[in-house]
Amino acid sequence: MAAHAAAPAGRRISTHGWAGPAAVGILYGLYAATVARHGGPTTLGQLWLGLISAIVLAVSIRTLHRHGRALPRELHAAAWGSLSGIAVGFLFSLSGASILSSSGLGLAFGVVNAAGAYYMYYTHEDAQGRPAPY
């Protein structure tokens, strides 16, 4: 009587890989280049701006996904709030808005996102204070 072979262990498809951050980064870079055009023709500088913006945002998101769990929930939420506030403030500044209004919008957006992230991290932990496995 022959024993059957064990089924090979399948690889888990992780949503926290590079696909999500890369997609967000590409969309952000395209939008940054479009906003920087101000309705004129596309230049090489605008394409570089979009490419660098996309890379910086994608790497930042990937880094927070990968290493953010090591932070306490307050710092983890503050990091997400800072990242989102900086990203929104930068896009708004590309439209020609003043530094004060860009900083104010970025600060408001960052505070709201940090509060939402803190609420999510605080309510999704077990009785011992360990975060949920996501």
Min mean pLDDT across 13-22, 90-99, 102-111 is at: 13-22
pLDDT of residue 38: 85
Average pLDDT of the residues of the chain: 87
pLDDT in tens, 97-117: 999 999 999 999 999 999 999
Distance (Å, whole) CA 117 – CA 20: 18
Q: Say which residues have a Cβ less than 8 Å from residue 122's Cβ, sequence separation at least 6.
A: 73
Report d(CA 26, CA 29) in Å as an integer.
5
Predicted confidence (pLDDT) per residue in 43-75, tens digit: 999 999 999 999 999 999 999 988 888 888 889
Q: Kindly state the average pLDDT of the residues 79-95.
A: 96
d(CA 90, CA 97): 10
Listed in sequence order, the residues at least 6 apart from 59 whose beta carbon sits closer than 8 Å to its beta carbon are: 21, 25
What's this model's pTM, rounded to 2 decimal places? 0.80
Chain centroid, CA 20 distance in Å: 9
Q: What is the pLDDT of residue 36?
A: 92
Checking if the pLDDT of 33 tops 60, the result is yes
